[in-house]
Chain A
Amino acid sequence: MRVFMLGWEFPPFISGGLGTACYGLTKAMDQLGIKVTFVLPKMADGKFVTHVKLLTPDLQTSNSFLNLGELKNVSFRTINSPLQAYSTPGSYQRQIEETLRQKQIKSGVLGLTGHSSGGADYGGDMYTEVHRYAALAAELAEKEQFDIVHAHDWMTYPAGIAVAALSGKPLIVHMHATEFDRSGEHVSQMIYDIERKGLHAADKIIAVSYRTRSIIVDRYGISREKVEVVYNGVEHNGDNILADTGIEKDEKIVLFLGRITMQKGPEYFLRAAKRVLDVMDNVKFVMAGSGDLMHRAVEMAAELGIGHKVLFTGFLRGDAVQKIYQMADLFVMPSVSEPFGLVPLEALGNDVPVIISKQSGVAEVLKHALKVDFWDVEEIANKVIAVLKYPPLQATLRDYGNFEVRKLRWTESAARCLRIYEETLVAV
């Protein structure tokens, strides 16, 4: 089986779950012997300002940063594009303008309007860019051999449609998040339209949870039979033996790890923190991540009068993530709308018990987690206090939870995808 896969980011350059999911899935497919051509966008010139510190790939060897020797059946192709995971039309616009400004400064040219002309490199606005990307992807695909096309999330859907149309191969569209998850009711019409078009053009849809499937069926006019559910898995982090770091801490630490954006419910985390601190003193709350609401979160913590009890670490990567898990007593994911939610699985894999929002896909999968409605601040606080107060509760959640996630392997997800590919190929 050969797959032409359109994805996003790939470790180590990731800004969220999408990259992690693509990596996990691709790696597992590789182990199953599925041949994957993985296509993703790459920045040509990396010097511009962004609040998300994405490391720019090495220019000399354009594919070197993706030299992951462990993946034998996967080959990478890049398309020069400033498209990034989690961009919105607004952020893309700002990104382009900033890049243009930097270029102007560099070349010392004045008087150029350059507002919306993208030049040959990229589209001046996101819509143009997404379709430019699609055209380039189709060109690239002509040189490749594959049986099926698999596109991850909306930005790659036009590319998926184009490649499928030109090659005559079936299209699988994978929904990791919908615009409703990201933006609540204030969806971007442009993104919604692209999502809808992709969902209808696809031969089969993969959703990361039954929750997401419901949204697809209810909001995009898709019939239920067209949507399959494949849960994400978790990368088993090797040795989970808690290294005795010798950190003597007298304070409990409650962790929020993820993008600080509306979807993740940071305000509920902070309100619950306040409620906890009303009755319990020796606890600190850590928000590990960055995002468009980070500054607002810092302000809110101050407004609630708990500023001295809430720490903001910014985006964490690599070892820092491990360290934060080792220090945490509890992990909380109060997401407003989470299609799946990889981070609680990661936390459990690192021996940290979790409280998760019922409005998440991962709640369908986990038994040994405390579950709560994201808006129920009182109950979040009730559960946080219980975990911190009663060691048997913390220990049981941790031990059973850790054991439970060992069974959630990407190999299962990859096997399901393979089955879906085969069924789709038979049908067309």
Chain B
Amino acid sequence: MASICFYFQLHQPLRLRHYTVFDNNGRYFDDSKNAFICRKVANKCYLPANRLLLDIIKKYQGRFRVAYSITGVLLEQLFKFSPEVISTFDALAETGCVEFLAETYYHSLSFLYSRDEFIEQINKHCDTIECLFGQKPKVFRNTELIYNNDLAGLIESMASFDAILTEGADHILGPRSPNFIYRPRGCGRLKLLLKNYALSDDIAFRFSNRDWAEWPLTADKYAQWINNVNGNGNVVNLFMDYETFGEHQWEDTGIFDFMRHLPEEILKHPDNDFKTPSEVIQSYEPAGTIDVSNLISWADTERDLSAWLGNAMQSNAIHELYRLEEKVKKTGNEKIIEDWRKLQTSDHFYYMCTKYFADGDVHKYFNPYDSPYDSYINFMNILGNLHSRCSKQMTGAALGTVSQNKDQPDLQIVC
């Protein structure tokens, strides 16, 4: 009996404007660029993929079920630039076949630097999801599936989540299979779902690669691989970026057709079904304990944090950012706090990565900057300005010349 557990990640950062050391304003984010990209991805991916999944869900009358996690920063942009996408998510929520997961609202690495901030961001995200889609998330995933035992312990202690997701990396599994539920080491109640990276990446990365031995990947071939799990696995966790459908894999690769035919092929085998993460953990017991003392992620071959923190610039930038936390929060100024939070999005540090700079690879494709150095300079200039805004705010407040909440953040999702 193999349950397919699909989980799709949706996120877009708020990209920064070109900001020099001479700039002296609070306009950090490039609205026109962000709008353009948001609409582009909406048209190529979010809308067609949502419509496809709605069709499939209706066709299979409840037997096809999936999960999504949508970051707060993306939700804000969708409201502003592509609100029709939100309506398709409303429709999906109403089918009762879709589960929404929780993550940090700002897609941040705050777990590593500020537990308080981390929890605040999770709560904000959960409130937003509940507000929009009427669901209180019960399953958590950290930014980029970053995970270790401490994280699991913290999530369990929040007492609002039943399960947590991460990457089924070889070095944490050893000889074991990701196709079972596990218990995080140190936890008594929380359950752990591990991504089957081989089968996930077959769709997400290899699908259109003509040099791949298995190209072309058809629904029936893939279903065969799923069937092979039967007997030695309960669940196949297929976690991937939603942009797989239309953005990473363009429509002409046949990715939508593949997805359209997949449920039929999967369900041909009577022991297969589709489950959401919550349904998975209700159906199966943990097969063992997984011990992860060092942080892992789903990024690159290393499956570690080197994509965001691997060089001196990255670690300096992120440290300086979190050093501002106290000062920022003391201002009580919502706009300042909001701006500071938007700067926490992990993508800003990803752009500073020098790992594969020489090779024109996946890192570079999504990078709005010419070089990681430009990204660092831009970020630090902005941070410098944020710092001085805080100082001005505090001096102004002390002198009584500035009102606390004069600036409002750009957009608030309220219900």
Q: Do A and B bind each other?
A: yes
Would B312 and A382 count as touching, CB distance under 8 A?
no
Contact of B381 with A by CB under 8 A: yes
Would A396 and B22 count as touching, CB distance under 8 A?
no
Within 8 A of A (CB), among B297-313: 311-313
- A367-B371, A370-B374, A390-B380 known; A379-B311 Cβ under 8 A: no
Would B376 and A279 count as touching, CB distance under 8 A?
no
- A370-B371, A390-B376, A393-B377 known; A279-B354 Cβ under 8 A: no
Contact of A383 with B by CB under 8 A: yes
Contact of A320 with B by CB under 8 A: no
Would A371 and B21 count as touching, CB distance under 8 A?
no
B348 to chain A, nearest CB (A): 15
- A393-B376, A396-B373 known; A367-B21 Cβ under 8 A: no
Contact of A386 with B by CB under 8 A: yes
Binary contact track A363-381/B, C-beta < 8 Å → 1, others 0: 0000110110000001101
- A370-B371, A371-B371, A396-B354 known; A386-B312 Cβ under 8 A: no
Would B21 and A385 count as touching, CB distance under 8 A?
yes
Instruction: Among B21, B316, B357, B358, point to the contact of A392 (Cβ < 8 A).
Output: B316
Q: Is the interface of A mostly helix, strand, loop or mixed?
A: helix
- Docked pose: A275 CA to B357 CA in angstroms: 30
Contact of B211 with A by CB under 8 A: no
Contact of B388 with A by CB under 8 A: no
- Docked pose: A34 CA to B368 CA in angstroms: 46
Chain A residue, CB-CB nearest to B314: A392
- Docked pose: A389 CA to B320 CA in angstroms: 14
Contact of A127 with B by CB under 8 A: no
Contact of B20 with A by CB under 8 A: yes
Would B22 and A279 count as touching, CB distance under 8 A?
yes
- Docked pose: A385 CA to B23 CA in angstroms: 13
A423 to chain B, nearest CB (A): 28
A398 to chain B, nearest CB (A): 11
Contact of A395 with B by CB under 8 A: yes
Contact of A397 with B by CB under 8 A: yes
Would A371 and B377 count as touching, CB distance under 8 A?
no
A351 to chain B, nearest CB (A): 15
- Docked pose: A386 CA to B374 CA in angstroms: 10
User: Using Cβ atoms and an 8 Å threshold, which residues of chain B touch A192?
Assistant: none
Chain B residue, CB-CB nearest to A355: B373
- Docked pose: A379 CA to B19 CA in angstroms: 10
B349 to chain A, nearest CB (A): 12
Contact of A400 with B by CB under 8 A: yes
Contact of B116 with A by CB under 8 A: no
Contact of B370 with A by CB under 8 A: yes
- A371-B370, A371-B371, A396-B312 known; A386-B380 Cβ under 8 A: yes
Within 8 A of B (CB), among A263-318: 275, 279
Instruction: Among B21, B316, B371, point to the contact of A382 (Cβ < 8 A).
Output: B21
Would A400 and B21 count as touching, CB distance under 8 A?
no
Would B354 and A400 count as touching, CB distance under 8 A?
yes
Instruction: Among B21, B311, B358, point to the contact of A386 (Cβ < 8 A).
Output: B21
- Docked pose: A279 CA to B381 CA in angstroms: 13
Would A382 and B354 count as touching, CB distance under 8 A?
no
Would B21 and A393 count as touching, CB distance under 8 A?
no
Would A386 and B354 count as touching, CB distance under 8 A?
no
**Chain B residues within 8 Å of chain A by Cβ, number:** 19
- Docked pose: A386 CA to B313 CA in angstroms: 12
- Docked pose: A368 CA to B373 CA in angstroms: 8
- Docked pose: A57 CA to B373 CA in angstroms: 46
User: Using Cβ atoms and an 8 Å threshold, which residues of chain B touch A386?
Assistant: 21, 376-377, 380-381
- A279-B21, A367-B358, A382-B21 known; A392-B313 Cβ under 8 A: yes
B59 to chain A, nearest CB (A): 50
A275 to chain B, nearest CB (A): 8
User: Using Cβ atoms and an 8 Å threshold, which residues of chain B touch A368?
Assistant: 354, 357, 373
User: Using Cβ atoms and an 8 Å threshold, which residues of chain B touch A404?
Assistant: 358
User: Using Cβ atoms and an 8 Å threshold, which residues of chain A touch B374?
Assistant: 370
Would A390 and B21 count as touching, CB distance under 8 A?
no
Would A393 and B313 count as touching, CB distance under 8 A?
yes
Q: Most B CB atoms within 10 A — which of A383, A389, A390?
A: A390
Would B21 and A396 count as touching, CB distance under 8 A?
no
- Docked pose: A279 CA to B373 CA in angstroms: 21
User: Using Cβ atoms and an 8 Å threshold, which residues of chain B touch A397?
Assistant: 373
B321 to chain A, nearest CB (A): 13
- Docked pose: A390 CA to B312 CA in angstroms: 10
- Docked pose: A386 CA to B372 CA in angstroms: 13
- Docked pose: A370 CA to B238 CA in angstroms: 41
Instruction: Among B20, B311, B358, B381, point to the contact of A396 (Cβ < 8 A).
Output: B311
- A382-B22, A386-B21, A386-B381 known; A392-B312 Cβ under 8 A: yes
- Docked pose: A386 CA to B377 CA in angstroms: 6
B216 to chain A, nearest CB (A): 36
- Docked pose: A381 CA to B21 CA in angstroms: 9
Chain A residue, CB-CB nearest to B352: A396
Would B20 and A378 count as touching, CB distance under 8 A?
yes
User: Using Cβ atoms and an 8 Å threshold, which residues of chain B touch A367?
Assistant: 357-358, 371
- Docked pose: A125 CA to B354 CA in angstroms: 54
- Docked pose: A108 CA to B3 CA in angstroms: 107
A292 to chain B, nearest CB (A): 32
Chain A residue, CB-CB nearest to B358: A367
User: Using Cβ atoms and an 8 Å threshold, which residues of chain B touch A390?
Assistant: 313, 316, 376-377, 380
Can you list 22 A-B contacts with CB-CB less than 8 angstroms, sorted by A residue number?
A275-B22, A279-B21, A368-B354, A370-B374, A370-B377, A371-B370, A381-B21, A382-B20, A382-B22, A382-B377, A385-B21, A386-B21, A390-B313, A390-B316, A392-B313, A392-B316, A393-B376, A393-B377, A395-B312, A396-B354, A396-B373, A400-B354
* Supplied contacts A368-B357, A390-B313, A392-B313, 13 more A-B pairs, CB within 8 Å: A367-B371, A368-B373, A370-B374, A381-B20, A381-B21, A386-B21, A386-B377, A389-B380, A392-B311, A392-B312, A392-B316, A393-B377, A396-B354
9 nearest A-B residue pairs (beta carbon) = A382-B20, A392-B312, A392-B316, A386-B377, A392-B313, A385-B21, A382-B21, A396-B313, A396-B312
